[in-house]
Amino acid sequence: MDRQAFVDLGAITGNVASLCELVRGSQVMAVVKADGYGHGMVPAARAALAGGATWLGVADLDEAVALRRAGITAPVLGLMTFGDPAEAIGHGVDVTAGSVAFVAKVEAAAGRSGVQARLHLKADTGLSRGGATPADWPGLVEAALQAQARGSVRVTGLWSHFACADIPGHPSIAAQLAVFADAVASAEKADVTPEVRHIANTAAGLTVPESRLDLVRFGGAIYGLSTLPGGAPSWLRPAMTLRARLAMVKRVPAGTGVSYGHRYVTSREATLGLVPLGYADGVPRSAAGHPLISAHGRRWPIAGTVCMDQLVVDFGDEPVATGDEVVLFGPGEDGEPTAQEWGERLGTISYEIATGIGSRVRRTYPDGARR
C-alpha cells in the first residue's frame, strides 16, 4: 500500500480504560465527531465502548444516525444543533438545545417521529459560541419544561463547554464553573431533573478534577492526543500512524532545484525520494523544511514545497529504494514524529493534524475491524 493511516484500536480501548480510572465516579463520553478525529468514527466508537465509555458524542446529527445504523446502541449526544433532528430523535439520540427556537424545533421533530425527544440544555458560560447566555437561560429552561409537560420532550442533561481549559490556571476556568453551577441550580430549582450534568472536555477532565461532575467528554484524549501544553500525558498512547512507501528514488547532482518554486536546492549530489502524500492528504504546505519524515531509523526534512499529491525528501547518501517505508507521525516510540510534534512545529494542534488526513489515505485496522 502506497499510503495508509494505521489506527491502533487497542490503544483507543486502553486510553479509555485509563481515563475511566482517572475520573472514577464520573461517566465517560467518547467524542467521535469528525470521523473519530480522523481515525474512523465507527471503529473508534466500538473501541471506546470496549474500554468503558458509556456515552458517545458527535457534532452533527447525521453522525449520530450513522452510529445507530452501524448497530451501536449506547447513548449518543449530538453536541450541535445542525439539521433536522427528527431522524436522530427517532433513533433515540439525545439532542442539544441552546435556544428557545431550537426547543420548538425539537418538539416539532418529536411529533413527526412519534418518539419523545431526549434533550440536553446547553448553557453559554463564557465560550460565546453555542448555548444560552445567563440572561437567556431561564427562558430556555421554561420552554423545555413546557415541552416536557406536553410529553414531547424529556430534559436529560445540562451542559456547557470551556473556553480555556487547555491553559492551566486560566481565570476563566473557575469563572465558567461558577456560572455553570448557577445555571444548574436554577434549572433544578425550576424542577429540571437531569440524568447528567457535564462541562469537562479533555483538558478539563485531565487537569480540573472539580469539573468532572456526572460525565466527562473526552475527545482527543481517547486517541492519545491533547491540546494541553506538551500534549497528552505519557500514559495515553497515540492511536494513529501515518506512513507511506517511496514512489520513486533518483540521484541528482549538486545545485538541483526541488519542487515548485525551487525553494530547496541540493547542496551536494543527493538521493531524492518521492512520498505519495501532499496537502490534499492533509500534509500542510508549511511542513516544508521541517525534519518530520522518519525512515531508516533517522529523521529527514521535507525538501522544498509540499505539493497537492506528493512531497520530496532529500536522503543525501542514504541507500534508500523505491518501496521503502517512511513514517510521518506515530506514537513516537521508535523516534518517529508524533502528531503533537507536527502541531507544535507548524503552529497548530495535534487535532488539526489528525483530522486533516484526507479520505484518499486508507485507514487500516488490526484484525480486519470494520470502518
Contact at 8 Å (CB) between 166 and 203?
yes
Q: Which is the catalytic residue, given 33, 37, 264, 351?
A: 33
Residue 253 CB neighbour total at 10 angstroms: 9
C-alpha cell at 94: 439525545
- % helix / strand / coil in the chain, to the nearest 5? 35, 20, 45
Phi-psi region of 97 (alpha: psi -120 to 50; beta: other; left: phi over 0): beta
Instruction: Report d(CA 272, CA 266) in Å as an integer.
Output: 10
Following DSSP, what letter does each residue of 17-51 receive, concatenated?
HHHHHHTTTSEEEEE-HHHHHTT-HHHHHHHHHHT
Q: Are strands 153-159 and 325-329 parallel, antiparallel or unpaired?
A: unpaired
Amino acid identity of residue 329, one-letter, is F
250 is a catalytic site residue: no
C-alpha cell at 221: 484524549
Q: Which is the catalytic residue, given 250, 260, 264, 279?
A: 260
C-alpha cell at 245: 512507501
105 is a catalytic site residue: no
Q: Which residues are catalytic?
A: 33, 260
